[in-house]
Amino acid sequence: MFLRSNLNNKTVGLKELIFRKKPLCIFLQLKDTSKEWYASNLASACNTTYVHTVKLLKELRKSELITVEPKGRMKKIKLTDKGLQLATSLSELMQKLEEEKPPQK
**pLDDT value at position 99?**
78
Question: Which of 37, 95, 92, 34 is CA-nearest to residue 66?
Answer: 37
**What pLDDT is stored for residue 93 in this prediction?**
84
- Give residue 4's pLDDT: 43
In the prediction, which pLDDT does 10 show? 55
Question: What tens digit of pLDDT does each residue of 28-85 get?
Answer: 999 999 999 999 999 999 999 999 999 999 999 999 999 999 989 999 999 999 999 9
- From first CA to last CA, the distance across the chain in angstroms is 37
Q: Which domains does the chain have, with CATH numbers?
A: 4-99 (1.10.10.10)
Are 5 and 64 spatial neighbours (Cβ–Cβ below 8 Å)?
no
Residue 96 predicted with pLDDT over 90: no
